[in-house]
Structures are given as structure tokens and as C-alpha cells.
Structure 1
Amino acid sequence: MTNAPVESRLFESARLGTLDLPNRLVMAPMTRNRASADGVPLPMMATYYAQRASAGLIIAEASTPNAVGQTYPNITAIHTRDQVAGWRQVTETVRAAGGRMFLQLQHGGRVGHPDTSGLMPVAPSPVPLPETVFTPSGHQDAVVPRELTVEEIRATVADFAAAARNAVDAGFAGVEVHAANGYLLHQFLAQGTNHRTDAYGGPVAHRIRFVVEVVRAVVAAVGPERVGVRIAPGVTVNGIEEGDTEQIYPALVAALAELGPAYLHVVFADPAQPLFRQLRELWPNTLVANPVLGWGGPLPADGGKLKGEQLLAAGADLIALGRAFLANPDLVERLRTDAPLNAVRDRGLMYVGGEAGYTDYPTLAETRVPAALTSR
């Protein structure tokens, strides 16, 4: 007598706020540069996301809450009527395919360029990005950002709240506030980019203030069940130097927990790290974990399934995968059946626009040879 195989917890249903999710796999937000120059989603984006509607939840790519927050060319935004209308076409198509979507809200801060947005980037302090930044004419040296005034900080908080309302109007089930990966909110958290001496800089309690104010405003605008927050403890992309990772994140997560957002999304989560376990204990609601799969390297053969299962065992509730969903529109079915995965194509195709490397990744059904042909 043999025992039937135990199905992975990745394929169990889950509850997120008011949403019933058919599985615990989340499509992570990934910038793809397929919008118009003024941030309006294009029709092929509806096709791309609908192809991946079997994910338990899709977190759509970073969208800017105002013009000065634009990071790169042809990224999406959510602060004009045309942008809202473009996103509505996407959400309606995905909903018709059975999917559920949140939208990530991201302000680039110092990660931007006047040739891209037409505006001088802003940041907590005038500390430039220590690397080049991509613009419509190619890579250029970063400029020194202008330090935000307290009045501008308040206006930016209001912009995030307005963007959240716009996202709900566009048909999203909720929004994710992006406080990770070296963009504006992360810049306020990190000692290397925040040299302020006012109530938004210096001690930990001051450096978390802007993030907490943004999340509080977004929660007030659309309700806590519609809000998630993404953080990246210890991640150094875009020149970020936190300085006191072990101190700032417990303080931040404890403060955010009081606001009651539906989920916390931890980038590059490692179940072996004490900080991950500490944050799990501090966070009372859904924890979304993005496993470490190698930044820019080839995907593991299982697409992150094993590491996802390890994170679930360590207390995560949902598992966010990025490039595995990018290359495999039917990733859920492939992981469920242990089918081989498509490899991610040339990294350049992620950001150059067009259908190639975007909507043309085949499903299993499209790659299998019909039996009638193999019997000839």
C-alpha cells in the first residue's frame, strides 16, 4: 500500500482582506516599460496580465502617483484620467479571465531624470544615485535630486492617497505601497540617503515617519483591506545603504501593524534569517514572501517552488514570484504538475517594449505536440 502524494500548500486557497484567492502564488510586480510615454497602459498589457490570471493574486507593476515620481521611460502611472482609463481596460480583461489584481504605487525619488519626466527628481536629501539611470536617450549620469520640503512631503503623501483612490476607480482590488528597492520611501528609511535633521530624518522613529504617513493616508483613502506594503530589509539596489537594518524594520513593521494593512510583502525573504522570523512575529496579518532566487541569474528548475514551500513552513502566507511568472503565463499549472518551465529570455527584452519577451511566452498546451502528429 502506498500513500498518495501530498499536494504543496502553494496550491491551497487563501483569504486576503475581502478576497478569496484560489492559490497562494502571487505574481510579483515587475516593471516592463510597455506603457505610452505619458504612462498610459497599452492594450497589450491587458493581454499580458490576463495570460497570468491563474495566479492567486497579481500585483501589477509599479505606477507613479505623480509626474515627478517617474523613474524610467514608458512606465505606468495612475494620476491622470487617461492612465486610470488605460488601467481599467487591463483590470476588466483580467477579471473576465478570473484574476484578481492589486496595483503597486511607486515614487522613484532620486531614481529618475529630467530627460524622462521633464522635472528635477526629488529625494529626502540631495544625495545622487551613485550609478547611471536609464532615460529616453539611453543611460545617463544621475543628477543631484532636490531635497523635499516639509510641505512637499505632505503633498506627496496626498498624492499617494489620491493614486490609491484612482487605482480602485480603475478596477483594482487594492494597492501595494512600494517602500523597497531604493525608491523614494526606501530612501527615507536609509541613513545613506536620508541626511535630514528635521522630523523626517535622524533617529529611527523619524526616518520611518514618511512611510507610516503614506500608508496611513492610503489606508484612510481606500480601507485597510485594500492595502499592502512592500519592504526590502538589507537590499542594496539603487545604491541604498540602510545602516541599521536590524533596528529600523522592527520599528517600521510594528508601526505599520497598528494601521492594519491587509498584507506585508517582504522582498528576498530568507526563512533562516532571524530578522525574517522577528518580522513574522510582529506582523499580525497576511505575510507575502518573495524568496531569494538569484538577482538576474537563471531561474532554478522548479521556478522557486521549493523555496516558496520553505517560506510557507516558516510562517509566510503567500509566495510572490517574479521572473517565473514573466516566462510562464501558466506557471501555477506548471508548478502543480511539475512540468518544465520556460527559461527567461534575453534580459533586454524585459524593458524594450513590444510583444517579444512579453506576451509570446508559450503555455504548456502550446508547446505540446498533438498525439495525432506523433503517431504518423
Structure 2
Amino acid sequence: MDVSTNRINQAGFWDKLPPVWDSDDEESLICCSVTDETHDVKTFAFRTPKGHLFHFSPGQFLTLELVIDGAPINRCYTISSPPTRPHLLTITVKRVVNGIVSNWLHDHLKAGDRVRVLPPSGEFTCANYPAKKYLFLSAGSGVTPLMSMSRTHSDLADDRDIVFLHSARTPDDIIFESELKRLSYTQHHFHTHFICERNGARRHWNGVNGYLTLSLLQLSTPDFLEREAFICGPEPYMRSVKGMLEDAGFPMEHYHQESFSFETLSKTQDEQSADAVADISATPGIELFNVQFQKSHREITCVSSQSVLDAARQSSVRLASSCTQGMCGTCKAKLISGQVHMEHKGGIRQREIDQGYVLLCCSRPLSDLVIDK
């Protein structure tokens, strides 16, 4: 459908629905509003320049391609709005101490600004795991993907049996507190519970103080073993919750968690890569390939079973990277010659792939390579 055939009438609505947004056609989105959720959390709403519709699954994330202080940097943020409201897309961002991107967004991004983005991606979505009963567990800004899921069910008038337990530092740090309470009031089978470490500045707090424990979970959700569980929050929180559920006998095939790791490659991953190199002579079917970085005039050896980024790090070649999971696009590079097997998670556009770009964190060599780095 040609967007030129769509007209906005005098009431401000489309006479015909516009087509779905194509990130290859419109690489940037326009920020149309900024809303304070708490003292250190803001929601940024975006629309497309041509007024196209967004299409995604609740719980997926968006990757922002920013330039901060002259340096390119990418970050993934979960979409907090539901796909049932396709004209706008929102991300909800918590200011992090010394966080380069979160602080820049809070201090600089305003209505009218444009931001380059990659299309929505991710597999952390209830759409992939339909169930009669859900258990949503979140902490801090981990509430955002579960909020998208909750809003979706509400918009569809699907009064699904959902128990939503959210943990926060204080009552004033609860993101979407009023809306989650409203969902509990308006949907018979939607139940919200808040757990706060301490009262903070709010004198009148009738909720639970402390941390999520098995006793609290059993009290609020006696049938939690029968539910499809989605968990999102800081790494320590998710480790604790996962261990708690495992000890309680929860069927882990019904456990799903979301997290973004923007730190350097973990020791475990480095050790696995080193082991792959060490065992090369004893492993049939594994090959060694030569990788040349054209601009830096560096040359390394890469095992066919490891990513180019892993091999570069082992050889002390510094390359820009962030998520190391094929999501954010930070390690994108032009492949001048050679072939790779790439398994990305949305961090690169098809148009870029067609132009010869790859993500080094999730690309394994199939031949000798020459890379424009």
C-alpha cells in the first residue's frame, strides 16, 4: 500500500490504515514524547516519519544506534508498549549510575529528535508460549517486557489468569504502579503484588517489605508450579529466582527469562574458546582459517567453531562490541572477502547483510576472511 493513498481526516485519524513500518526504508524514528515514570525512570515514545504501523510481539526489544561524544554505541531496550497500539512504540529507561546511554537519553533526548534504530527482535514473549495461566516476576526496570505482555492481554479483553509480582527498592521506585493496580481492578483474573526492600520516603505503605521468597510466592500464587513463568530483572535477582524455583520443583521447561549483557565476554566463554583452539588437533571436522583486518593490518587465526569476535579477543585485537549475542549490532563490520555462518538475533538489517555486512560476535568462518576493520 502506498502511503500517499492514506490521508488524515479532519478529526486527526487515518481514513485508511497505513502500512507496517520497514526499518530498511525508515531507519530513524521520531521521539514524540518523554514521560517521567519515577524520579529516575523515563518513557520515550516514538513514531515513524511516515506514520507507519509498528509490528512486534509483546516482550521484544528495540536496538538504538546512537552517537555519543562522537563515538557510535548501540543499546537494546525492551519495548514497554503493546503491539495492540501500533501507531506508537515506547521504551522505558532507568537512569543507571555511570550508564553512558541511559544518562544521555535522560539528559538529551527530547520530543522531535530522531534516533536510528534496528527493528524489534527477541524471543522473550508470551506469544511463543500460550498458556491458560502465567506468572510474571520482575524487579526494577525488568518490569518493561512484562508490562507489554500485560497491556496486550488487557487491550485484547483477554482476561488471562496472570499473577504479576514486582520487586522494587522502595514504593516510590515502582514503575507503572498505578497502571498495574488499575489492571488488577479492571481484570478479574489479573493480580498484582509489590515487594519493596524498604519504605523509603513514603510513610503510608501497606505492601510487603523485604525480598521475594518462596514463602511469599506460595502465599500469593499457591498454584505457581502450574504456570508459565516469565522473569526479568537484574542478574542477581534472576539467579536468585531461578534457584528458588528449581529448589521448589518448578518444571523449568516452563521457565523463561530475559536479560541483556553488555559487559565483556565472560570468563566461561573465553575458556570455551580457548578449549576449542587447544583441542583442534583432536577434533575431527574443525578447521583453522586466516582472518585479516584490513585497516588495522592485523592478522589472526580463527577456529571454525568459534566466532570471529572470540578469536580477535584471544589475539588481543580490540573490536567494538556490546551484547556479544547478535542483538545490538555494535560489532557490525564489512566482509570484504570470504564466507561466514551468521546466527544473529535482530542486530543487523537484511539490507546490510545484502551489502556484505556481518556481526562478528555471531559469525563463524567458513573460509579465510578479509574484514574492513
State the TM-score, normalizing by the size of structure 2.
Answer: 0.31
Q: Using CA pairs under 8 Å that are at least 6 residues apart, name the structure with larger relative contact order, 1 or 2.
A: 1
TM-score w.r.t. length of structure 1: 0.31
Larger radius of gyration: 2
